[in-house]
Structure 1
Amino acid sequence: MDDLVEQTIDRYFDVFDYIVFGVMLIVSALIGVYFAFFAKVKQDTTSEYLMGGKTMGIFPISMSLIASYISGISMLGIPAEIYTYGTQFWMIITSEGLVSITMAVAYLPVFYKLQITSSYEYLNLRFNQTVRLLGSTLFLLKMLLYIPIVIYVPALAFSQVTGIHLHLVTPVVCIVCIFYTTLGGLKAVVWTDTVQTLVMFCALVCVAGMGTINAGGFTKVWNTNNEGGRIDFFNFNWDPTIRHTFWTVSIGNYFGWLASCSINQAMVQRCLAMPTLRKANITVGILVVGIMALVSMCCFMGLLIYATYHKCDPITRGAITKSDQLLPYFVMHIAGSMPGLPGLFVSGVFSAALSSMSTGLNSMTGVIFEDLIKPNVKKPLSEAYASLLMKTIVVIIGTICVGLVFVVEKMGALIQASGSLAAITAGPLLGIFTLGMFFPFVNHWGALSGGLVSGGLIAWISIGTQMQMAKNLIQFPQKPVSVEGCNPNWVMEYLSLTLHPDAKPKLDPPFFLYRISYMYYTALGCITAITIGIIVSLLTGGNKNKIVDKNLFSPVIHRFIKGNVLNNEIKLNEL
């Protein structure tokens, strides 16, 4: 193990690695070709293209959801998080089981009874077209900014440590993704996600196994991390300004995951592709187990990396420049004796990126077609024309995302801000849907006001926080690293430069909301939307005497709704 700390990147992709990586791309493309031209049921109707004919099986849908929620950013970022800040982040898995129960009991039954294609169609049924447009716009904005980043981050990291040029690999993988998503619709996306999920698992298991052996076994890995202060699971400090505590990662992740799973178009679209609600709930349960397993594997990779480089930090030494390069740097070292393993791992990371991109393209197409095009078309579209239109939308969106990848490259500061981007849209959306499903008296004025105020608040906090971080006014304490195992000459030079650092003046702490943990952003956005929505609805008369469909409300509150019920329609008689 000790000989690893002094190495530099001296091994790049060989022919076996390129073959493994190429096979993954070819298989993905062939799946799209199969469902477009050779499957028994062609993808030439709206139901088939967006919902898979509502006959999808539990296994492929489960694998697709797992792949969709584990991106290349996660595979690279989680090990770096554990290496840099310790294991507290690992506790996000504690809230995922509760999220699945909440979704299965409170949210998913509403969508399933209504049998809608776009989750934002619910907002029109419950409120009005304006609220639906707000929800759709927030979702499309989020995905348009998320997809380029999810492709760019792994491409950047691997281009720097494997020799694959960023401008070569990014267009290639994006074109393949656009190709099979366009041709095969939801079924192609789901089955390629299934293949890509298996590749992810294989890659992580192989690298984790080799890394554990190289580090001297699991016990030594754990003890080394414990001695280095990385093992930190139960920090019960309630201070909301601490970046990660048990409460910030468990409570914060509960709201974040609830927004990602319960109302997100990608999730709803796949769950409604199942023939029954029971099977959809089983799928959600498998998703939780799979996510917990993948997150735990990625966290363990962080422990492995520290156990390997605990005496010579590669970032301090200058072998790499960013923490998100730690995992590929580690892989290229331990995989030197196994041709094809680096290719398998690169395939795993890009599989995560491709699955997130294909899911995004397919779900965005559903939202654009169902929420923006169909309501504004006077005559019903033929199935053939609708299918062609949706495929055209995929190509256009995919092309835009490829172009935005290169914009992101030029605007690197946006990468740091991307972590807060999801909360700007997730919090308000979760709040709006919760208002609709759990508060019968809330009207469209309340939902619209709550969503706008919430989005503005979280955007202000997020942007303000990033500006304070750019000025180094907000910094997070990192776990200690060592360079004592590095080259002695290099260590002396390093110490001479850092022994007498310049004194820095003590500055006043930034505004409280700028210091609050980013994990609470979604929760804060949701609570704000609900609070403003309730107040505005009460001030504007609520929904008294309005006739509404009982299925628009969560089954959890059916017994508490007061009004006259006739054929599932309720005439509300109280605010």
Structure 2
Amino acid sequence: MSISASLFSVWDYVVFTLMLLVSASIGVYYGFCGAAHSSSADFLMGGRSLTAVPVALSLTASFMSAITVLGTPVEVYEYGGIFILICFSYALMVVLSSELFLPIFYRLGVTSTYEYLEMRYNKVIRLFGTVLFIIQTVLYTGLVIYAPALALNQGHCSLNKVLGVTSVLEMSRVLFTVTGVHLWGAVMSTGVVCTLYCTLGGLKAVVWTDVFQVGIMLAGLLAVIIQSVLRQGGISSIIRDATKGGRTNLWDFDPNPMRRHTFWTITVGGTFLWTSVYGINQAQVQRYISCKSLFHAKLALFINLVSLWAITICSAFCGLCLYSIYKNCDPWTAEQVSTQDQLMPFLALEILGEYPGLPGLFVAAAYSGTLSTVSSSVNALAAVTIADLMQPYLNLSEGQLSYASKGMSLFYGAVCIGMAGLASLMGGMLQAAISIVGVVGGPLLGLFSLAILFPCANSKGGLSGLLSGLGMSLWVCIGAQIYPPRPENSRPLKLDTHGCNFSMDSSSRNWTIHKNFMTKEETVERSFLADNWYSLSYLYFGPLGTVTVMVVGLIVSIFSGGRQKKLELGLMLSKEDLTCYKAYKILKGKVSRKARRIDLTRQQEKSSGKTNHAFSDVELSIQTHS
């Protein structure tokens, strides 16, 4: 890649700047020109007046971040297209979330999902849930902020090779000169823009900027796909290259839980993972409750499913495009990029560089994903802090709570920017993000499921289960970081460099397996736990925590006497909450009405002596027309 490919044109900066200006303008509009935020509930919940379509797109944008735009294509490029099976998980997640969790949260009208934990268990468990959510969200958001900075800092490795830059200070100077944005300048600007419109506009600003940003994300991915298809000679050519390279490995039914990705790890593990996000996560539940009716809330979830599929399929196909173009010369192995997460920006700059504005559109897509996720997280963090940590303990007026909500948005924006520093030390974005969500989200999902599904569960069982599930998830996750899984479990696919038109220093790559694991020839003997426990697929971290919480929670609840007091109405799932039961009741009613009409007709026939079926249809027809 030449140095010119790393340069943004004026039009690229125009496109990128316009995206930022539109996002900020929406926040300014809802902060000063829209409805006044006279209360914290209006600021945090949008006045509970939103409709299905904008909420649906906001739900998609909240967790379809730059990690999706940059990480999913790399996943497919390195491990194959089997990750597309996550679409099955999305469908199962939508059904579970809309049927089990959404009716209860909407009926109770809570501001924070953790209010339910106090209603169902006690105040201590509510505080535990709130603190865990804050830790999880801050860590995840730090990773999300760091991701698009990689896109703007893509030229690092190639510039180092071309210009012979050696010192860090000199590299920073060159990057600032060439791209106009230093890595940490990008991190800071992401956080500042998000914090601005979150603080000014509240949830309504977050939702409508999400709608705009989903469009930008799709446009950026489609730009890469269309140009890749034109360059490679059609979709069939890309699919053919992917098949030859083993990237169409969609159906692997190996039940081994140590395998990184199989049909079972992706569908089962993915369902638990995404249900913990869409079923109980404050950032998502906050949007359901902001809808003006339960129908709009459920409809939003199902519309969101379609947009989830669209973005996931586009990003996965980008991974196939990535492989088709670089099948003979992997830029990562060839040291043209410094991390695997820079492959997509590298591709975009190379194939879109001749079209002014399109490289800027792709970077704007990655940046849009981050803005939407960070703004949702900041708004959710502010909501749980106000509802769970301030309002119950401080006697504040509505006006004071409104100012406190804006202050919390500002505070958490700054905290998430700081956490981006920790995110820079992590490995691949996609796996790191899913691991963070799974380790904390899994136990919380188990805690809520225990409360909703089992009337006998009590506070002792809930707390014991939560601590056990969290300990189990952390144990296996930390162990997996110390003892990475063997390549026979992760099964990376072959990447070639024989088609590169420059020489590589072979001594600089002394790896004996796929470079993704950064593992040299191992001389230290691995323990039994390393190969049989810590090698558990990262997608099972969440289910492990969920199942542990529910099993331990039930056992402790039963042996501690179960629940002593009668539950308040509305805290448990009932058959009336289920859509299938409502459909059954409607169908039963229609059948009953039809049966009653038939019985009435027969009674009329008997009373008039008209029981000859040979003439009944004719006579009834005559009566009808008369």
Q: CA deviation at 1:44?
A: 2.6
Secondary structure of the 1:551 match is coil
Letter in 1 for 2:140: Y
- 1:238 counterpart = 2:232: no
For residues 240 and 226 of structure 2, the distance between their equivalents in structure 1, rounded to whole angstroms, comes to 17
- Aligned position for 1:397: 412
For residues 335 and 421 of structure 2, the distance between their equivalents in structure 1, rounded to whole angstroms, comes to 26
Q: Relative to 1, partners in 2 of residues 1:33 and 1:188: Cα closer, same or farther, differing over 3 Å?
A: same
Contact in 1 for aligned 2:105/2:113 (Cα 8 Å): yes
Q: CA deviation at 1:10?
A: 3.1
2:436 is aligned, of 417, 421, 436, to 421
Q: CA deviation at 1:106?
A: 1.5
- 1:482 counterpart = 2:496: yes
For residues 473 and 309 of structure 1, the distance between their equivalents in structure 2, rounded to whole angstroms, comes to 22
- Aligned position for 1:550: 569
Letter in 2 for 1:287: N
Write out per-residue CA displacement over residues 155-207 of structure 1, whole angstroms, 9 at most, x where no aligned residue.
12431238331122221221111111001000011111111111111111122
For residues 503 and 262 of structure 1, the distance between their equivalents in structure 2, rounded to whole angstroms, comes to 43
For residues 469 and 355 of structure 1, the distance between their equivalents in structure 2, rounded to whole angstroms, comes to 32
Write out per-residue CA displacement over residues 214-246 of structure 1, whole angstroms, 9 at most, x where no aligned residue.
111100000011001111011001011010001
1:431 is aligned, of 422, 446, 451, to 446
For residues 123 and 311 of structure 1, the distance between their equivalents in structure 2, rounded to whole angstroms, comes to 55
Letter in 1 for 2:567: V
Structure 2: stretches of 5+ with no match in the other structure: 156-177, 514-519, 579-626
Q: Relative to 1, partners in 2 of residues 1:357 and 1:428: Cα closer, same or farther, differing over 3 Å?
A: same
- Aligned position for 1:568: none
Contact in 2 for aligned 1:445/1:537 (Cα 8 Å): yes
- Aligned position for 1:292: 309
For residues 62 and 262 of structure 1, the distance between their equivalents in structure 2, rounded to whole angstroms, comes to 14
- Aligned position for 1:247: 264
Letter in 1 for 2:465: G
- Aligned position for 1:275: 292
Deviates most, 15-24 or 416-425: 416-425
Q: Please give the residue correspondences for 1:81-120 in structure 2 after superposition, counting only pairs within 5 Å.
A: 81-120=75-114
Contact in 2 for aligned 1:474/1:510 (Cα 8 Å): no
Letter in 1 for 2:496: S
Q: CA deviation at 1:130?
A: 0.6
For residues 499 and 240 of structure 1, the distance between their equivalents in structure 2, rounded to whole angstroms, comes to 26
For residues 425 and 504 of structure 1, the distance between their equivalents in structure 2, rounded to whole angstroms, comes to 32
- 1:76 counterpart = 2:76: no
2:548 is aligned, of 528, 531, 538, to 528
For residues 568 and 355 of structure 2, the distance between their equivalents in structure 1, rounded to whole angstroms, comes to 61
Secondary structure of the 1:516 match is coil
Q: CA deviation at 1:59?
A: 1.8
Q: Relative to 1, partners in 2 of residues 1:311 and 1:132: Cα closer, same or farther, differing over 3 Å?
A: same
- Aligned position for 1:142: 136
Secondary structure of the 1:199 match is helix
Deviates most, 202-211 or 449-458: 202-211
Secondary structure of the 1:548 match is coil
Size of the aligned set, in residue pairs, is 546
For residues 133 and 510 of structure 2, the distance between their equivalents in structure 1, rounded to whole angstroms, comes to 46
Deviates most, 505-514 or 195-204: 505-514
Write out per-residue CA displacement over residues 428-447 of structure 1, whole angstroms, 9 at most, x where no aligned residue.
10000001100000000000
Q: CA RMSD in A?
A: 2.3
Write out per-residue CA displacement over residues 313-359 of structure 1, whole angstroms, 9 at most, x where no aligned residue.
11111111221111100000111221001111111111100110000
For residues 355 and 248 of structure 2, the distance between their equivalents in structure 1, rounded to whole angstroms, comes to 31
- Aligned position for 1:303: 320
- Aligned position for 1:467: 482
- Aligned position for 2:585: none
Secondary structure of the 1:233 match is coil
Contact in 2 for aligned 1:473/1:509 (Cα 8 Å): no
Contact in 1 for aligned 2:69/2:217 (Cα 8 Å): no
For residues 492 and 57 of structure 2, the distance between their equivalents in structure 1, rounded to whole angstroms, comes to 35
Percent identity, aligned pairs only?
36
- 1:449 counterpart = 2:449: no
For residues 311 and 8 of structure 1, the distance between their equivalents in structure 2, rounded to whole angstroms, comes to 21
Q: CA deviation at 1:137?
A: 0.8
Secondary structure of the 1:315 match is coil
Q: CA deviation at 1:403?
A: 2.2
Q: CA deviation at 1:550?
A: 2.7
Contact in 2 for aligned 1:473/1:510 (Cα 8 Å): no
- Aligned position for 1:330: 347
- 1:367 counterpart = 2:387: no
- Aligned position for 1:29: 24
User: Following TM superposition, where does structure 1 have runs of at least 4 consecutive aligned residues deviating by more than 6 angstroms?
Assistant: 413-416, 472-475, 495-503
Structure 1: stretches of 5+ with no match in the other structure: 1-5, 560-575
Write out per-residue CA displacement over residues 443-465 of structure 1, whole angstroms, 9 at most, x where no aligned residue.
00000110011001110110011
Contact in 2 for aligned 1:468/1:474 (Cα 8 Å): no
- Aligned position for 2:372: 355
1:38 is aligned, of 33, 42, 47, to 33
- 1:384 counterpart = 2:399: yes
- Aligned position for 2:125: 131
Secondary structure of the 1:550 match is coil
Contact in 1 for aligned 2:69/2:221 (Cα 8 Å): no
Q: Please give the residue correspondences for 1:506-525 in structure 2 after superposition, counting only pairs within 5 Å.
A: 507-508=525-526, 510-511=528-529, 512-525=532-545
Q: CA deviation at 1:508?
A: 4.4
For residues 509 and 477 of structure 2, the distance between their equivalents in structure 1, rounded to whole angstroms, comes to 35
For residues 272 and 498 of structure 1, the distance between their equivalents in structure 2, rounded to whole angstroms, comes to 54
Letter in 2 for 1:47: A
For residues 513 and 61 of structure 1, the distance between their equivalents in structure 2, rounded to whole angstroms, comes to 40
- Aligned position for 2:616: none
Q: CA deviation at 1:506?
A: 8.5
- 1:59 counterpart = 2:53: yes
1:346 is aligned, of 332, 338, 363, to 363
Instruction: Report the TM-score, using the length of structure 2 for normalisation.
Output: 0.83
Secondary structure of the 1:431 match is helix
Q: Relative to 1, partners in 2 of residues 1:524 and 1:503: Cα closer, same or farther, differing over 3 Å?
A: closer
For residues 176 and 117 of structure 1, the distance between their equivalents in structure 2, rounded to whole angstroms, comes to 25
Q: CA deviation at 1:496?
A: 11
Q: CA deviation at 1:557?
A: 9.1
Letter in 2 for 1:447: G
- Aligned position for 2:559: 539
- Aligned position for 1:17: 12
Letter in 1 for 2:416: C
For residues 527 and 560 of structure 2, the distance between their equivalents in structure 1, rounded to whole angstroms, comes to 40
Q: Relative to 1, partners in 2 of residues 1:482 and 1:36: Cα closer, same or farther, differing over 3 Å?
A: same
For residues 369 and 382 of structure 2, the distance between their equivalents in structure 1, rounded to whole angstroms, comes to 20
Write out per-residue CA displacement over residues 525-572 of structure 1, whole angstroms, 9 at most, x where no aligned residue.
10000000000001110114x22123101124999xxxxxxxxxxxxx
Contact in 1 for aligned 2:194/2:371 (Cα 8 Å): yes
Q: Relative to 1, partners in 2 of residues 1:332 and 1:105: Cα closer, same or farther, differing over 3 Å?
A: same
Q: Please give the residue correspondences for 1:156-167 in structure 2 after superposition, counting only pairs within 5 Å.
A: 156-161=150-155, 163=179, 164-167=181-184
Contact in 2 for aligned 1:204/1:345 (Cα 8 Å): yes
Deviates most, 519-528 or 505-514: 505-514
- 1:225 counterpart = 2:242: yes
Contact in 1 for aligned 2:152/2:186 (Cα 8 Å): no
Contact in 2 for aligned 1:427/1:523 (Cα 8 Å): yes
Contact in 2 for aligned 1:89/1:244 (Cα 8 Å): yes
